[in-house]
Structure 1
Amino acid sequence: MHEPLPVTGRQFEIASGPARAVVTEVGAALRAFEVGGVPHVETYDADQLPPGGAGAVLVPWPNRVADGQWVLDGEPQQLPLTEPARRNAIHGLLRHTAWTVVEHAESTVVLQAMVAAQPGWPVPLLTSVGYSVGPDGLTVTHTMENLGSRATPFGLGVHPYPRAGAAGTDDCSLRLSASTLLPVDADRMVPVRPPRALQGDELDFRTGRPLAGLLLDTAFGGAAPAPGEELVRHALTGPDGHGVQLWADPAFKWVQVYTPDDFPGRGRAIAIEPMTCPPNALNTGTDLLTLHPGETWIAHWGLTPF
């Protein structure tokens, strides 16, 4: 008989010097990342479903699709309503899929999964995610390949919960390289108006703001590298000036920030979710990417402690 597996499947640990990460088989999720024993993402037990989507890969769309409905080449599509209370399809199709390990070395693991053609998603895609730890922290590489016979739109996001070591979330400050905010319906969390420019109000995090007292489940757009830079950079900083930077390729033009107060073992936590497109992009078309038959797309993001 096989030994029973935890609900997140096999656990793949990678390490380089003091840096260590753990990735799950189910969902290819980042379950832990630490340097010198100092945690830089919120973690959870291997035998529980990732709380609040922790560490998940969100593909072939991040965030929400209103009513699970969209149209491809004039053909109406109906996705399963995986957020039924709000009548939405949420966070893609692979969060509860067992991914296949295609490489596992001391400091690197690469997992692969198929987005099969299915009701609501008619074009098959092959996707992989590679995690690597090294002196600069954690680097994550995503690929998408269109295995079908026609072009398809798509989006990609990830759902890490960074943490500034032992510091409490309310003792930290947040800085975002984002210049707009997307107004959404408070009940359904789907867009109701175009993005608005941030103008120094309490939700403008471009120069850093304390998180104490802020309740966020907010999509920010206009995420772009600073002048002279090549990468988008967001940062969570603890009261001692140390923390973690989340960097991403310019393809990640959006970032969702979510501050639950019930993360297991921590209470208040913060998700900083780089996304290539905003909520409901399969309907609005905003910043959707397109893959033609046989085409491959690659993008990177990562975490760097400081």
Structure 2
Amino acid sequence: MNDPVPATGRQFEIAHGAARAVVTEVGAALRAFEVGGVPYSETYGPDEQPPSAAGAVLVPWPNRVADGHWTLDGEPQQLALSEPARHNAIHGLLRHAPWRLVEHAESTVVLHAMVVAQPGWPVPLLTSIGYTLDDDGLTVTHTVENLGARATPFGVGVHPYPRAGHAETDDCVLRLAASSVLPVDPERLLPTRPPRALQGDEIEFRTGRRLAGVLLDTAFGGAAPAPDDPRERIRHTLTDPTGHGVELWADPVFKWVQVYTADDFPGRGRAVAIEPMTCPPAALNSGEDLLVLQPGETWIASWGLRPL
């Protein structure tokens, strides 16, 4: 008799020196990332459903679509309401899908998945994700290819829960390379007005704000590399009281970052998600920062985690 398959499918482990990461078959999610036994992302068991969307790949849109409704070339589209309590479609179409393994080497794993033409999404897409460990940490590379006969808008995001080693989340300092925030309805978490500049205590996120007492489920925009960054990377950081922790870097196309403070992450309690996104919530309707793929065209971009 074959052994039972974990809830998250097969587990693909990669390693480089003292670094180790585990990626799941279902959802192609990052389940663990550590260096020398020190955790730099929250983890969970292979038989557990990813808590609070941990590690989820958000394709072909991140965050929420109000009522699951949008239009393509004037044609109404109706997505399944995957967040029924708020009457929204949320986090794309591949969170619970099995991804196909196409490469698994010592320090690299690559998986593919199809976004098939379906109700609410008429254009087929081939998407892949590659996880690679090297001396600099973990690099995650996304590709999306339009297999259809018409252009389509889309967005990409991911839902990691970085952690600053063994430090308690409330003792950590979060710094964001963002300049604006998107106001939302607190009940449905949908935008209520255009992005606005950071104000009040929000400005502290630019230089670093301690997370004790901070509650967030917030989209920050205007994320951009520092003018003098030699690699032209957006850089968000989560650090402990000694200044050590983790950097989440991203290519400039990831202009948005959703930050979510979860108080009940299994086995951890207080945890924080730092989610790079190419577009804000509800972008399929607002059009803000949506990417567009022509037939046969391929898009590629990367982000990563680097211990500090």
Does residue 158 (structure 1) correspond to residue 155 (structure 2)? The answer is no
Cα deviation, residue 228, structure 1: 1.9
| Matching residue of 1:279 | 281
Cα deviation, residue 209, structure 1: 0.7
Cα deviation, residue 203, structure 1: 5.5
**How many residue pairs end up in the alignment?**
306
Does residue 289 (structure 1) correspond to residue 305 (structure 2)? The answer is no
Cα distance per residue 1:147-170 (max 9 Å; x no partner):
000000000000000000000000
Cα distance per residue 1:24-75 (max 9 Å; x no partner):
0000000000000000000001001000000110000000000000000111
Q: SS of the residue aligned with 2:85?
A: helix
Cα deviation, residue 200, structure 1: 4.8
Please give the residue correspondences for 1:82-231 in structure 2 after superposition, counting only pairs within 5 Å.
82-202=82-202, 204-229=204-229, 230-231=232-233
Cα deviation, residue 202, structure 1: 3.7
Aligned partner letter, 2:18: P
Cα deviation, residue 240, structure 1: 1.8
| Matching residue of 1:55 | 55
| Matching residue of 1:234 | 236
Cα deviation, residue 267, structure 1: 0.5
Cα distance per residue 1:157-205 (max 9 Å; x no partner):
0000000000000000000000000000000001000011013534541
* Alpha-carbon separation, structure 2, partners of 1:223 and 1:239: 25
Cα deviation, residue 134, structure 1: 1.0
* Alpha-carbon separation, structure 2, partners of 1:234 and 1:304: 10
* Alpha-carbon separation, structure 2, partners of 1:52 and 1:72: 30
* Alpha-carbon separation, structure 2, partners of 1:209 and 1:27: 32
Structure 2: tracts of 5 or more residues without a match = none
| Matching residue of 1:254 | 256
Cα distance per residue 1:105-163 (max 9 Å; x no partner):
00000000000000000000000000001110000000000000000000000000000
Identity %: 78
Does residue 266 (structure 1) correspond to residue 277 (structure 2)? The answer is no
Moved over 4 A (4+): none
* Alpha-carbon separation, structure 2, partners of 1:171 and 1:134: 29
Aligned partner letter, 1:222: G
Cα deviation, residue 241, structure 1: 1.3
Structure 1: tracts of 5 or more residues without a match = none
**In the alignment, is the contact (CA less than 8 A) between 1:179 and 1:204 conserved in 2?**
no
| Matching residue of 1:29 | 29
Cα distance per residue 1:195-223 (max 9 Å; x no partner):
11013534541110100000100000000
Cα distance per residue 1:87-106 (max 9 Å; x no partner):
00000000000000000000
Aligned partner letter, 2:213: G
* Alpha-carbon separation, structure 2, partners of 1:43 and 1:52: 12
**In the alignment, is the contact (CA less than 8 A) between 1:233 and 1:245 conserved in 2?**
yes
| Matching residue of 1:20 | 20
Aligned partner letter, 1:246: L
Aligned partner letter, 1:67: D
* Alpha-carbon separation, structure 2, partners of 1:5 and 1:273: 28
